[in-house]
Structure 1
Amino acid sequence: MDIDKELEKIFDDPLLSDITAKEAGLFDIPQDMKDVIGRKQADYVAQRKPCEDFYKYAEGFKKVHSDLKAGKRSLVRIAKTVNLKEGHYYIVSGQMVFLEKILESYEGTNHAIDGRTRCIYENGQESDILLQTLRKSVMGDGYGVTELDSEMERSFFRHGTSNGEDIVTGYIYVLRSLSKAPEISCKKDLYKIGFSTNRVEDRIAYAENEPTYLMAPVEIVASYKVMNLNSHKFEDIIHKVLKSVQMNINVYDANGVEHQPREWFVVPFGIIEIIIQRILDGTIVNYLYNPKLQCLEKQIKQNSSKYDTQGMNILTLRIRQILFNEIVGGTKTVERREIKQTTLNRYTYIDPADGKRYLRRFDALRFIVGQGGHGGDNVLVSVVDTTYADGIVEFHLGEILDIRREDGMALL
């Protein structure tokens, strides 16, 4: 079958000769779809390909992963104002990327510096992805990887030196269970982290009789004498940081009474060491544990938005995560909403002076990811213009004023 001839017959059909402009419009591609097609065509050259000299980078990826698991590096969310740098590592969709070089540099859209790059991926591929495309991907669902924390290596557990005025308040200990129960022995990296005012050896002398030790002998992996540390404060912090990897298990004592120990966590020992160090030097408030990537994630927290919204008329809208990422990345510049009977008063109002209906004007839109009353990632964007056509109100988006994650952390 000749496809071209068949299509020609269809379009030469007399039934199609007198269609109206409105009917013909059914074959038009919407502008937002054209934009997407254009972006895909413009970026086709950034397809990944095998990296022929990957052997030069393989050890670097292994070392960074090792540093992350040892707590010598951590993850950090990238803010909109942060520029990506050559020689740095990033995480995109769960995969590590090394920005080896920025091959060219020019001013792109929104006056942002853009250009082709050479990026090496840990799976042995590379691409010449645009710098701003990479940045948007990192901002969307990725992280930056911090530089090696050499200061942490030099000062590790330096707190053990007393100045004569410090008070020894007890011992932090890390234990490994010697239980033969399958549900316990099968767990790799299972540790109990606790605090004792007595010697650890005395504290665990009868571990096999105590539910808190899973009714089994334990092995001391590490213990640290500490000064001026409140035991309850320590336990609260540990539980907060490692809540996502806390082991849930029911244990029965010699009398058959059920207990639920809460100080056992599935986490690499190297991470535990760094967490304890950061508790003692006060920097743990800036970190959370990322169980998926098995490393610490640095939190850049601000108490409140630095943008003052007082006196502003703000409309709050719910959107999907993919659209949120496009707004933050700068690829989505218009938000379209259909005016229905149920939303008529939300987007319009009747002026009592003339009885006519007008569009409501908003200074900014706050987009929140998700549905219902649950909080999510949200971004505040200024509105530069509002237009209306065929039952659709269009909000033309301008500057991003504030970005917040679900946990309240400000990213801008």
Structure 2
Amino acid sequence: MTQSAYRAKLLTFTGDPAQSADAAVYHEDGVVIVEDGHVVASGAWTELANCVEDDASVHDLRDKLIVPGFIDTHIHYPQTDIIASPAAGLLPWLETWTYPTERGFEDQALAEDTARFFVDELLANGTTTALVYCTVHKQSADALFSASEAKNLRMIAGKVLMDRHCPEFLRDTPQTGYDDSAALIGRWHNRGRLMYALTPRFAPTSTEAQLEACQALAKAHPDIFIQSHVAENRDEVKWVRKLFPRQRSYVDVYDHYGLLRRRAVYGHCIWLDDEDRRRMAQTGAVAAHCPTSNLFLGSGLFDFEKASEAAMRVTLATDVGGGTSFSMLQTMNEAHKVARMGGHHLTATRMFWLATAGAAEALDLGETIGTLAPKSEADFVVLDLQATPLLARRTARARSLEELLFALAVLGDDRTVYETYAAGECVHRRGERAALPAVL
């Protein structure tokens, strides 16, 4: 196949910047060489120019920055249309907005239309991989996977499981939930670049019988992902204590049913104790930090210091629609502020790592996505340092990589994303997305 080369400023990672001063690899004049959907080589232009074949397609992007594609580890595609909806807190928000909206996804056409828009919105924000919640309806997962497959994306998703404490119109059973999930795993897991996530919504909406069914599925499919919510809100934590009095904590509920393991990703993880964090670290489970959602719903502040002390795996996530932006840059912005409120300084370099290589590593996909390393899948984003007059003025004055990345994290958004590539193909170019009529 024809080789493509992208000459630009480059940022990639070899490790956690909090652990190593050399973990961030930056080239002022670099190149990414791509062939057959994978990175052939990346590094300084002066060292790799001779590796660019004579008939290669060369893209001159020297005024822009290429970074690995962003990875959003917790997001709800059916909530796209209720982003920015007011509520007094998490549980009222679910009752007022989420459940009535998700009811509509029994309509295949609505699911397909929303899935296409959702995928396009991710790509417009530079997100090339996401862990996605669908609805309780099996066809909602089919729609999301189909839309992702059409763009050849590395995407992870699952049908929600709920068999109590939710409206009857969204309720499945332990058996139907098991059967639907098993069928979806068989249809979509490891099909192309797609992967499946077993998705009990959160412990209060699943009976013990349904959690036992999840345990059986997880045991039968050790390489699938698991995603749910934990300890987001104090009222929710109290509710779980009443529902599961025999378990030590909210985290312990999932642990009891064998749902804490590698590739298990839990949204929020705010109201944890030291033993919860220790156990998550011990099992390899991941905390998906959702700062815009936690601030919007008043849920609380994620504790970076205690997470670091426990060596708990942490990633960043938007949590749309409780979250207020699809942009991982804006998510970084709010994550920095949440960390500061807890007395922790979260550097921009580490935030970019958390949203790329750090997330890939936490998901056991470190050799597949998240970097620009040779043989990795060629998912990357071209960021425009001059996307707005203010951003251009600020980045022109940056005297270090940290200062440059901090400006992008604080001032950047979807306007900053010039192009997005998945498996070496351009799947988004700013200004070329078709305008869609509003649905009334």
What is the TM-score of this pair, normalised by structure 1?
Answer: 0.23
Relative to its length, the structure with more helix (as a share) is 2
Determine which structure has more spread, i.e. the larger CA radius of gyration.
1
